[in-house]
Structure 1
């Protein structure tokens, strides 16, 4: 009997061993989608949505350092962004975008779906360059190796840029002359291979201009990209378009949700609003107002200088008294504003690196306008816009990633600094006109506002468009003003400052390009200083994400003064 029982135990043990062997060979999570079982259309959609999220991730922090929006996180640069600020973008790139792109390419390449393959290579190449622009050296060749490499080492930023350019060339080869079926849904280009090719060439141009301080071949690379064909028309713009649905799903622009629901919107930058409101002056010293101002920002109060002192956080005074402006503002430009963007007008934002507490100003501060976030055009109604998402263009905005207007300004910069084949003045004018066309075109997203009849103070009526919208005369006057300044500039440094100033204004909605531009040129030359004197050295790159540093034993935290490979330190930034 004992022998019989032992035999039973041995048989059961053998069966268990066999079962364990089978488990070892079939360690597949039954709830996890495998590449073989994935829907190509669904994964391609995921790639686009993650690309959209990365564009959003690259908005606030870079924009706040270039004073495009207000950085209210600290008085010192060392605390202006922290190691957790970019955990989201890190996850979006490595665990989201690149992983999904690998699935798309594995599914699409064997069956000749060249547009799927080529377009995802372009998006990956762009994201590679973004990581370098923000952090410097990051993992690339050892990334996405699964358990084979659980602690990837970083590649140099220069090597990653080189790999990105090679990937763009591969994409161009994939897309050239293809008759492949288009993706079921392509938010960017509707499956048009030629438009994707133009984007690839444009990103090569972008790379050449970005690296021009350390790249002896930059001029030739710019000329080659232009010859091959870059983005030149608004119809070719690379942007993610949002809808107007509020729920199930919420398809509205996140910056519309930020300011037009029930919570207080983000603080606008007093400096950036001043750039459009009062930086330019006519012959009598009066502000020459940028016609895009009302499209970019909405004022919730008529006079931001005449409010109760409890709504201000000026830091050096209880009220926005310009006599209390710090001396170091005057050292840059005596006309720079303090506490409000322009005394006597309704533009209420924050100065650079103002970490004061938050007063009860949510329904008074200036908020995102119609362009590019789908908000309310400033029709001088000065109303509280926390109306549960019922005003303006209802969030039908865009994330502008690479627009035809940007391309013209990059070409103008290259022509002036590298001697490329373009005429810098011609490209400057073209960039400005395309910017106005793009911005004014957003009127069609909220036709009710522009057609509404308004009573004029002193008698009479007119439509919002007639009274406050920009027309061709406004555009021509502005362009003539800038070109006259360009023609009368004393040297190329002044001419470059004019080009960069106009590029900076046209970039509204794109933080990473303004941050790159500032580190590359140190312009605009009258960039507002920090609110407190001595804020520490400028943040020339961001901290590596804490998730990466704490989980990867081969990663170590970097300094915010570390320069990315293309930043040779020649530009003065503060």
Structure 2
């Protein structure tokens, strides 16, 4: 008899064994007895799938955060323009859980084997990364009872706040495991690690940075700075990410094998525009223009020498700047400039810029030591370096940060509120495209920046939505547990760490 299984109840290795896809669809096979494989192969596939999920799943957030707007000549969905989402819209539930099952597989297969400690620790770190994304989208979700296969097809939901606490502990445990590993016994991930090429120091720094993200996400709406400082007290000496956390298994300009960000928003192998319906939002183009930001022409293709954006929800969009600068690519496969670089470009998991802005906020609040102003400027510089990749990127970043409207608020008259305003604003400016979800998260946490709502005539609630809805599959397959979460509304149902923003 055919049976429909819930995503988090499957232990799939599909991302690692694409050749098994046909067998998985064969009803004679039991999906709860998956094809086994070495941790090295499964890890590569899981990292590649994480990169695809995070780089292709958050177009909506690009619209909500004022980066993108519908282009002229296209008819966007009514649900987008009015924010009237359904349980079928903008879902990431299944794909994230399916890939999380791969990390869970590695952890369970590795057990306490000292030879597999690096693979297990990396998988724990990536579980924290992916589960945070799920909580940030849905709040309460299945966690402890997930991945039990046929033993439990209706796992209970746990509070997002409790899951966050468990993820912080998971990251601490992973860091400790890496630091205590016997280097003469532990198998090094090497090329199987398509993110840091087996550099475990970078994995520790990434884990510490991800932990800082989890902790700060709760400040000030859930915990205060003192509690955050206590949570961050251990492993501070390990430091934080100072380089890009990127994935690249060897992307090439072949449809289906391109870098996922390029594949979604750049050009197809034949040269057609995959993101023709998306154009620049005037909120962003005005920001980059008014602050003399050299990244503006890298994020958007100028029209007549200027950045031109559409107001989100306008009935008659104008011909505006295309996103990403795929116009620069052509046959130049060595291009490094802009949001869209080449079909073989790295897929961003976390930017160095985001790491520095996290540290800047933590320093400003007294959660960690260090100069908030220096870290703030480092965040700006890291963004300029990655987006522009020109020899004068640092000089341009310095000139930009020296402007009165951009400079970090300091001196006796500067308030913490002004400093947080500056940090989150510049973080938003750096997250364009690669970090749409994180920009949306920070907006819901802080209300910064003050992104305008859609001006579409059908908008009845003048607020940026607070979340997406649970998927229809959950109401069909895990009804009692999802219904126990109450009536979910995209405008009033907050993620546990969010502040209530009532109007823009």
Q: Which bracket does the TM-score occupy, shorter chain normalised? A: 0.7 to 0.9
Residue pairs, 1:151-550, within 5 angstroms: 151-178=154-181, 179=183, 180-183=186-189, 184-213=191-220, 214-216=222-224, 217-221=226-230, 223-224=232-233, 227-234=236-243, 237-241=244-248, 245-247=252-254, 250-260=257-267, 261-263=271-273, 264-278=276-290, 280=291, 289-299=292-302, 301-302=303-304, 346-354=306-314, 356=315, 365-369=320-324, 375-377=326-328, 393-418=341-366, 420-441=368-389, 470-482=392-404, 484=407, 486-487=409-410, 491-508=415-432, 509-525=434-450, 527-532=451-456, 535-550=461-476
Match of 1:310 in 2: none
Cα deviation for residue 506 of structure 1 reads: 1.2
> Are 1:168 and 1:204, in contact at CA under 8 Å, matched by a contact in 2?
yes
> Are 2:82 and 2:460, in contact at CA under 8 Å, matched by a contact in 1?
no
Task: Measure the CA separation in 2 of the matches of 1:31 and 1:156.
Answer: 31
Match of 1:331 in 2: none
> Are 2:69 and 2:279, in contact at CA under 8 Å, matched by a contact in 1?
yes
Match of 1:99 in 2: 101
SS of 2:348's equivalent in the other structure is strand
SS of 2:63's equivalent in the other structure is helix
> Are 2:229 and 2:366, in contact at CA under 8 Å, matched by a contact in 1?
no
Cα deviation for residue 240 of structure 1 reads: 2.3
The number of residues matched between the two structures is 447
> Are 1:62 and 1:515, in contact at CA under 8 Å, matched by a contact in 2?
yes
When residues 33 and 141 of structure 1 are mapped into structure 2, their CA distance, relative to the original with a 3 A threshold, is closer
> Are 1:67 and 1:272, in contact at CA under 8 Å, matched by a contact in 2?
yes
> Are 1:140 and 1:154, in contact at CA under 8 Å, matched by a contact in 2?
yes
Match of 1:137 in 2: 140
SS of 1:124's equivalent in the other structure is helix
* Residue number among 555, 566, 570 corresponding to 2:497 in the alignment: 566
Cα deviation for residue 510 of structure 1 reads: 0.4
Cα deviation for residue 540 of structure 1 reads: 1.1
Task: Measure the CA separation in 1 of the matches of 2:358 and 2:174.
Answer: 22
Higher mean displacement: 410-419 or 265-274: 410-419
Which string of whole-angstrom CA distances, capped at 9 and with x for unpartnered residues, describes residues 229-250 of structure 1?
233422xx22223755222752
When residues 389 and 425 of structure 1 are mapped into structure 2, their CA distance, relative to the original with a 3 A threshold, is closer
Which string of whole-angstrom CA distances, capped at 9 and with x for unpartnered residues, describes residues 386-431 of structure 1?
x799895432333333222212212222333456423322221121
**What's the TM-score once normalised by structure 1's chain length?**
0.70
Task: Measure the CA separation in 1 of the matches of 2:443 and 2:111.
Answer: 40
Task: Measure the CA separation in 2 of the matches of 1:243 and 1:80.
Answer: 39
> Are 1:295 and 1:439, in contact at CA under 8 Å, matched by a contact in 2?
yes
Task: Measure the CA separation in 1 of the matches of 2:368 and 2:109.
Answer: 41
Cα deviation for residue 251 of structure 1 reads: 2.4
When residues 475 and 553 of structure 1 are mapped into structure 2, their CA distance, relative to the original with a 3 A threshold, is closer
Which string of whole-angstrom CA distances, capped at 9 and with x for unpartnered residues, describes residues 186-214 of structure 1?
11111122211111111111111100121
> Are 2:384 and 2:394, in contact at CA under 8 Å, matched by a contact in 1?
no
Residue pairs, 1:61-140, within 5 angstroms: 61-70=60-69, 73-74=77-78, 79=83, 81-87=85-91, 89-94=92-97, 96-109=98-111, 111=113, 112-140=115-143
Task: Measure the CA separation in 2 of the matches of 1:369 and 1:350.
Answer: 15
Which string of whole-angstrom CA distances, capped at 9 and with x for unpartnered residues, describes residues 330-374 of structure 1?
xxxxxxxxxxxxxxx5434432344x47x8x8xx5422335xxxx
Task: Measure the CA separation in 2 of the matches of 1:159 and 1:407.
Answer: 24
SS of 2:349's equivalent in the other structure is strand
> Are 2:216 and 2:362, in contact at CA under 8 Å, matched by a contact in 1?
yes
Task: Measure the CA separation in 2 of the matches of 1:298 and 1:396.
Answer: 20
Match of 1:51 in 2: 50
Computed over aligned residues only, the root mean square deviation of the Cα atoms, in angstroms, reads 3.2
Task: Measure the CA separation in 1 of the matches of 2:264 and 2:437.
Answer: 21
Match of 1:21 in 2: none
Task: Measure the CA separation in 1 of the matches of 2:240 and 2:367.
Answer: 20
SS of 2:280's equivalent in the other structure is coil
> Are 2:209 and 2:355, in contact at CA under 8 Å, matched by a contact in 1?
yes
SS of 2:166's equivalent in the other structure is helix
SS of 1:160's equivalent in the other structure is helix
Task: Measure the CA separation in 1 of the matches of 2:80 and 2:195.
Answer: 39
When residues 295 and 222 of structure 1 are mapped into structure 2, their CA distance, relative to the original with a 3 A threshold, is farther
When residues 406 and 290 of structure 1 are mapped into structure 2, their CA distance, relative to the original with a 3 A threshold, is same
Q: Which runs of 5+ in 2 are unaligned?
A: 1-26, 71-75, 336-340
> Are 1:292 and 1:439, in contact at CA under 8 Å, matched by a contact in 2?
yes
SS of 1:201's equivalent in the other structure is helix
Task: Measure the CA separation in 1 of the matches of 2:256 and 2:266.
Answer: 19
